[in-house]
Structures are given as C-alpha cells and as structure tokens.
Amino acid sequence: MRTMASRQAYLFKDGVLVWRALKAGTKTQGKDVLAAIDALATQKK
C-alpha cells in the first residue's frame, strides 16, 4: 500500500528547533514560514 508524501517545514535557530509545520501546504508555506520568523523575532529573549 502506497501513501502520499507530505510536506513538512522546520525552522532552527542556533541549532534548536523553534518552529515546525507537520502538514505544510504548498500554497501558504512561504507565508507561514515568514509569519513564524516575524513572531520569533518579536519574542523576548
């Protein structure tokens, strides 16, 4: 039985996984990644 491959996206910062999308859609993946980067940039350290 074959299954379809799924697209996943991960963001790492300084070697640490800081964001992941396990079911990333091709139409919105770029926007989702940019939004995650913006959200991470505004978080307090």
**The two structure tokens encoding residue 7:** 């697209």
- What 3-state DSSP class applies to 12? strand
Q: What is the pLDDT of residues 1-45, one digit of tens each?
A: 677 777 888 999 899 999 998 887 788 888 999 999 999 888 865
> CA distances (Å), 25 to each of 1, 5, 10, 31, 45, in order?
24, 12, 13, 10, 30
Ramachandran region of residue 8, left (φ > 0), alpha (ψ -120 to 50) or beta? Answer: beta
Q: What is the pLDDT of residue 44?
A: 60
| Full-model pTM | 0.67
- Is the Cβ–Cβ distance between 41 and 11 less than 8 Å? no
Tally of residues, the chain: 45
Give the domain ranges of the chain: 9-42
